[in-house]
């Protein structure tokens, strides 16, 4: 049954989700929840995040649950940068400056511009989702379009919050290369490529002459590419809430129907234990590691669901976020 467009997450359902996060979730998502919903300290979020940091300044240690490698990776460090950006951490912060320095050191220059390869070769020795397989030295680059859009667009967008942390001119060059890569066209099935392109287009710190052409492109293509039916939203696809996370998102007006469907799906897909589950699995690979990764993804997904429902005004008695 599809809930009406004004349906809300009930206080009882919210309490179950809260209990899941605080009792069974990762410390990071529990701290993010307390900070966002209950006035918890930013320092508690940073302390939880620091457990995934390595001595080299990068992040690893399964911060992104689909890669269990302890070594620092662009995948995990970009995930940490997302947390730091959401918190509005100031530039002197040690976690931030270390992460940016690590990213600068691991930027690869290619014929198509400077990019960040997602994973080091060492990650192949640890449990991981099948799409992170590294069958050969260029396997991941081939699978992810040479990294020209994903992860570059998301990293570049967030770095504009702290441009002083990079050498003069580097961020501007990366921004031009990212813009051009997106405008060359995204494959319709590139779920995360569209998500990071939308972040690039909607991050106000990104200069408008680079951001706005991407926004116009996404206005044209996204209505046909986001998941908009219960069946599509229950599988692995482009969730409209990932490209228009709040009502203030510039892309929200062209995705009205899909966003309504996505919010309705959130309200009906909460599990009995209060969590929201991932819409994917590892296809039977590393069966000994998947249950832990799946539990961690429930933590991430539950935090994301509560934030989205709050920001869209779909939680009873909970103040909507910014």
Do residues 193 and 150 touch, judged by C-beta distance below 8 A?
Answer: yes
Strand partners, 27: none
**Mean pLDDT over residues 307-318, rounded?**
92
Banded model confidence at residue 137, pLDDT cuts 50, 70, 90: confident
Q: Distance between CA atoms of 222 and 206, rounded to whole angstroms? A: 20
Res 316: pLDDT: 87
Strand partners, 9: 315
Q: Output phi, psi for 108, to 5 deg.
A: -105, 130
- Quick: pLDDT tens for 84-116: 999 999 999 999 999 999 999 999 998 879 999
Question: How is the chain split into domains, by residue range?
Answer: 11-311
- CATH dotted code for 11-311: 1.50.10
**Mean pLDDT over residues 270-276, rounded?**
98
Percentage of the chain beyond pLDDT 90 is 94
Res 232: pLDDT: 97
Average confidence score pLDDT of the chain: 96
Q: Output phi, psi for 166, to 5 deg.
A: -115, 155
Could you tell me the pTM of the whole model?
0.96
- Quick: pLDDT tens for 12-32: 999 999 999 999 999 999 999
**Mean pLDDT over residues 41-68, rounded?**
98
Q: Output phi, psi for 86, to 5 deg.
A: -60, -35
**Mean pLDDT over residues 161-177, rounded?**
97
Do residues 214 and 169 touch, judged by C-beta distance below 8 A?
Answer: no
Res 319: pLDDT: 58
Which of 37, 22, 21, 34 has its CA nearest to residue 309?
Answer: 37
Percentage of the chain beyond pLDDT 70 is 97
Which of 166, 203, 199 has its CA nearest to residue 182?
Answer: 199
**Exposed / middle / buried, residue 293 (Cβ in 10 Å: 0-12, 13-18, 19+):** buried
């Amino acid at each position: 049954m599809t809930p009406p467009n004004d349906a809300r997450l009930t206080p009882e359902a919210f309490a179950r989700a809260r209990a899941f996060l605080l009792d069974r979730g990762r410390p990071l998502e529990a701290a993010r929840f307390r900070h966002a919903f209950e006035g918890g300290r930013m320092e508690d979020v940073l302390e939880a995040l620091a457990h995934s940091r390595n001595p080299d300044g990068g992040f690893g240690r399964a911060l992104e649950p689909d890669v269990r490698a302890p070594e620092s990776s662009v995948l995990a460090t970009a995930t940490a940068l997302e947390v730091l950006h959401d918190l509005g951490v100031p530039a002197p912060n040690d976690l931030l400056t270390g992460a940016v320095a690590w990213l600068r050191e691991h930027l690869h220059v290619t014929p198509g511009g400077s990019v960040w390869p997602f994973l080091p070769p060492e990650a192949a020795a640890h449990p991981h989702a099948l799409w992170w397989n590294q069958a050969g030295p260029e396997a991941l680059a081939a699978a992810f379009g040479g990294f020209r859009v994903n992860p570059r667009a998301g990293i570049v967008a967030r770095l504009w919050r702290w441009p002083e942390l990079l050498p003069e001119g580097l961020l501007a060059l990366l921004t031009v290369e990212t813009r051009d890569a997106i405008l060359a066209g995204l494959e319709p099935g590139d779920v995360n490529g569209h998500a990071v392109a939308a972040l690039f287009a909607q991050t106000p710190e990104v200069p408008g002459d680079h951001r706005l052409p991407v926004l116009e492109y996404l206005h044209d293509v996204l209505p046909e590419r986001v998941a908009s039916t219960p069946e599509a939203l229950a599988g692995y696809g482009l969730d409209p809430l990932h490209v228009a996370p709040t009502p203030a998102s510039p892309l929200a007006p062209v995705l009205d129907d899909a966003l309504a469907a996505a919010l309705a799906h959130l309200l009906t897909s909460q599990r009995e234990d209060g969590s929201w589950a991932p819409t994917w699995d590892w296809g039977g690979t590393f069966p000994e590691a998947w249950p832990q990764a799946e539990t961690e993804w429930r933590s991430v997904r539950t935090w994301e669901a509560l934030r989205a429902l709050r920001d869209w005004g779909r939680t009873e008695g909970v103040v909507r976020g910014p």
